[in-house]
Every structure is written in structure tokens, then in C-alpha cells.
Amino acid sequence: MQLPKAIHELEFNHGTIYGEEEIAAVLEVMKANAPSTGPKVKAFEEGFAAYCGADHGLAVTSATAGLHLALIAAGVGPGDEVITTPISWISTANAAAALGARLVFADVDERTLNLDPVSVATKITPRTKVILPVHLYGQCCDMDALNEIARPRGIRVIEDCAHAAGAEWKGRKSGTLGDIGCFSFHQQKNMVTLGEGGMNTTSDRGLYEKMLSFRSLCCRTYDPKGKYLPIDESVTPMGMRYWYLDFDGVGFNYRMTDMQAAVGIVQLRRLDALNARRAEIASAYNQRLAGIPGLVLPYVSPDVKHAFHVYGVLVKPEFGMSKEEFMWKIYTEKRIKVWSHYMPIHLTTVYRNQGHGEGECPVAERLFQEYVSIPIHPRLTEEAIEYVTKSIRELAK
């Protein structure tokens, strides 16, 4: 049997993520000895924070690291509770678990798959320290409702913006909708920094300084005026005690390199165009997949500008097969690698071992039987879009 050309060939034959500008930026940094956290990181942090409308940006090695720093800054520790969604990459929960906090999974909204504020409200206890919403697939959560629950109780809101660079809620950018935003620039994200990377944003000076300190081992030094400061490698203090280092906490090395930041600066300039292309592909999918019985296309709230990191559909029984059959058939018969974002976190072995399990989030558990992600990224060709939609229509017959 002649197998059709694999979708990943159709996708990846069409250019690379990086262009000449990124290549030139990398070479420039190499010629400057490719430092760790240097002037390019500083410029990237300022540029990204300004793009979002936040006062501070803190470049990190990944969103996993960024989430860890954010929860440290929020003061999360053993005995505290962190409320989050079960439908996310496991990093979201791990950041809290690593600090000894108890994970409390609230259920999701049926249409957006985002954290449901009504369920969150039922999970609040005197120990709730942080609400950790994830802007799933690039669509912002109902941040008004979540902030209304959190603010009067002094609960911090930390946005997981891994999918949501450039996304908006009521005209405001993700990363400015809570106390801290945590972005990922991993290879598959809407903007990327050489494989891995991330950025935290905040307009709270205290939170920023705490994250800055923990990013670099809680190392402190003296500035020329003798002020005891967290070390920031982009500024070299030259006071008399230029050599003096102290450490006032158990911190980490989560520093981004200048090489990554130089690429990030270029990618940030391209972000709106990259997201516009994602939106164009989503709209082509919406048109060409409309009207297939049992295939529910993504719901987009009128309050958001969606970043379409993922294009997620629901495969209902009326489609004529289960989600699992759909995923297997489209992979083996059509050579299209679809995915299912994500295995609900409370059903993973590690969280089952901590006492979580079925029945905790019934809506998420039911939707897990149905959600499938269709390939979407800015380099997807017209040929690939047509092939994907035609293949899904054929399976639906």
C-alpha cells in the first residue's frame, strides 16, 4: 500500500523556526563570548515586560523553573494549598509539589477547558496560598472571576502563560492578569529561544526581587554604595568589596544565556505575526471542519485574543468512533500525528500516589475521553492544512 506522505514531512519541509535575523543575533553574541546572563538578557527582559505591559521581566531556563521561582516568591511552603487545573502539563503542579505544598485540583469549564472559577471557589480553604490558572491552548482564563475570589482573601494569582505569549484577556496581555506570569519558550511554543527558555513577568517589585535572587542561588553582593544586593550578572558592582559574595537562601541556577535572549529579542519582534498566522490556520480549520457530526471545534470566549498554541477539538460519540480510535486511525491511516493535551494531572501515577484520583474533577475526566489536538504552527503549509481537514472528513464518513 502506498502510504500518504507523513504530515510531519509536509510540515517541516517548509522552512525552519529561525530566520537570518536569529542566526545573525547568535553570531553577534558568540563574537562577544556568549556570556551567561548578560546585556542581551537584560534587553530581552525589558522588551518582553514592555510588550506585556508589566514592570519587570525575569528570563529563566524554562517555564518549569519560572513556576518554581514564582511559587517561592509567593511564599508557598509545606502545608500550603495551591489550586490549579488538572488539564495542564505536569510542570504546573510539580512546581507546587516540589515546595511541599498540597495540590488541589479544581474542575474545568466545559467549553474552554480552562479552570472553572465556580469550582475554584468551592476548593478555597484557610490554607489556600495561590491560585494557579493555566491559559490552556493560548486562551486566557476568566481572570476577573479568579481575581475576585483571590484578592479579598490575600491569595496570590500566578498565571501559567506557557501557551499564551501574546494572548489577551479583555485587551490586557497575559502575564499582567495576576501577580506573576510564567512563560515558556520551549521549542514548540509560540516564540522560542533555542530549545528551552522562559520568562516571568510581574509588576510587584518585591516578588521580582525574590525571584531574581532565587534565580541565581540567592547570591548577594555589595554595590559601590555598600548596599547588600541580589546579584544580577548583567550589572557588575565595582565597590571596594567587589569580591564579596554571600548566600541568604537555598536558591537555584535558572539563568538564561545571552545567546538564548538574543534569539528571544528577534522572536519577540515576530511574535504578533507568528500568532496571526496561527489564528489564520485556526480559522481555516474552523471553516473546513465545520458541520462534521460529533466534532466540536474550539470555543473562543469573546473576552480573549487567542494565541492558538494548540487547536483542540472534541471527538464526541456521534463522530462514529472514540477519541482513541480517531487518534490511532488518523496516525496509522493518514500519517497525521495528533496529540491529546493533556493526561489529567490528578490521574498520573505520581499524583495518584499522593492520594489523588478519579472523581476529583469529573468534567476534566469526561473531556479527557474526547479532546484531541490537531497540528497547528506558523509553518504549516496550505497543502498540510488541506490534507488534515480532508483526512478528518474522510474518517468521519
Ligand X SMILES: Cc1ncc(COP(=O)(O)O)c(C=O)c1O
The residues binding ligand X (CB under 6 A) are 62-64, 88-89, 91-92, 134, 160, 162-163, 184, 186, 198
> Which of these is catalytic: 40, 129, 173, 189?
189
Residue 114 or 176: the one with the smaller Cβ distance to ligand X is 114
Q: Is the dihedral of CA 145, 150, 309, 50 positive or negative?
A: positive
Residue 119 or 139: the one with the smaller Cβ distance to ligand X is 139
Cα–Cα distance for residue pair 386/36, rounded to 1 Å:
44
Residue 260 or 391: the one with the smaller Cβ distance to ligand X is 260
Cα–Cα distance for residue pair 210/207, rounded to 1 Å:
5
Q: Up-side HSE of residue 45: CA atoms within 13 Å toward CB?
A: 25
**CA gyration radius, the chain:** 22
> Least distance in Å: CB of 75 to ligand X?
21
Residue 134 or 212: the one with the smaller Cβ distance to ligand X is 134
Residue in this structure with the C-alpha cell 496550505, named with its chain if needed? 382
Spatial contact of 375 and 339, defined as CB atoms under 8 Å apart: no
> Least distance in Å: CB of 294 to ligand X?
27
> Least distance in Å: CB of 234 to ligand X?
22
> Least distance in Å: CB of 186 to ligand X?
4
> Least distance in Å: CB of 293 to ligand X?
31
* 181 DSSP β-pair partners: 159, 201
Residue 202 or 391: the one with the smaller Cβ distance to ligand X is 202
Strand pairing category for 172-173 and 168-169 = antiparallel
Q: Residue 102: what residue type?
A: R
> Least distance in Å: CB of 353 to ligand X?
21
Cα–Cα distance for residue pair 82/91, rounded to 1 Å:
13
> Least distance in Å: CB of 132 to ligand X?
10
- Catalytic site includes residue 189: yes
Residue 71 or 162: the one with the smaller Cβ distance to ligand X is 162
Residue 187 or 381: the one with the smaller Cβ distance to ligand X is 187
> Least distance in Å: CB of 332 to ligand X?
26
Residue 184 or 267: the one with the smaller Cβ distance to ligand X is 184
Active site amino acids: 189
